[in-house]
């Protein structure tokens, strides 16, 4: 599983940042350097990816790095049959543009209990199962 994650991330993203993949039930993926940062947590048992953050340094924005980060994670989620939750949404316009949909309050409460995670306002999701 960890090798599959490394293969997908590294095949789609620029070299330079370091990639760490750790954990067993919750697999934590960190891909970062001073200019690019992506963190995500995969719960393959329950079928969800969550607690994601992505960051592109302001001087590199508008050149496709943000899309590359999102698409690498979406390929991974598709391969593993996961629904992606943007439960810490700091940029609703970006996620809406990338095809994510609003996650209703009742579903937030249900998933919060099931997965043990918190949801901020404007939480969104994309089903890649």
Ligand X SMILES: CC(C)(COP(=O)(O)OP(=O)(O)OC[C@H]1O[C@@H](n2cnc3c(N)ncnc32)[C@H](O)[C@@H]1OP(=O)(O)O)[C@@H](O)C(=O)NCCC(=O)NCCS
CA distances from 91 to 11, 94, 111, 123 (A): 26, 6, 21, 10
Residue with smaller CB distance to ligand X, 81 or 91:
91
Residue with smaller CB distance to ligand X, 70 or 80:
70
Stretch that binds ligand X, among 47-55, 76-84, 110-118, 121-129 (CB under 6 A): 47-55
* CA separation for the pair 129, 109 (Å, rounded): 21
* CA separation for the pair 72, 60 (Å, rounded): 18
By beta carbon distance, the residue nearest ligand X is 66
Q: Is residue 16 within 8 Å of 10, Cβ to Cβ?
A: no
Stretch that binds ligand X, among 24-32, 42-50, 53-61, 103-111 (CB under 6 A): 53-61
**Identified binder of ligand X from the candidate list 19, 94, 112, 122, rule CB under 6 A:** 94
Q: How many CB atoms lie within 10 A of CB 29?
A: 24
**Residues interacting with ligand X, by CB under 6 A?**
53-56, 61-67, 90-91, 93-94, 97
């Amino acid at each position: 599983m960890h090798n599959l994650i490394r293969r997908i991330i590294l095949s789609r993203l620029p070299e330079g940042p370091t990639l760490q993949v750790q954990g067993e039930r919750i697999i934590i993926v960190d891909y970062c350097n001073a200019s690019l940062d992506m963190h995500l947590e995969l719960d393959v048992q329950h079928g969800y990816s969550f607690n994601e953050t992505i960051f592109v340094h302001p001087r590199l924005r508008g050149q496709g790095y943000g899309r590359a980060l999102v698409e690498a994670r979406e390929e991974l989620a598709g391969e593993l049959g996961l629904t992606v939750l943007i439960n810490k949404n700091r940029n609703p316009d970006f996620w809406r543009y990338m095809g994510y949909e609003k996650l209703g309050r009742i579903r937030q409460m249900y998933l919060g209990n099931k997965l043990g995670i918190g949801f901020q306002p404007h939480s969104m999701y994309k089903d890649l199962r």
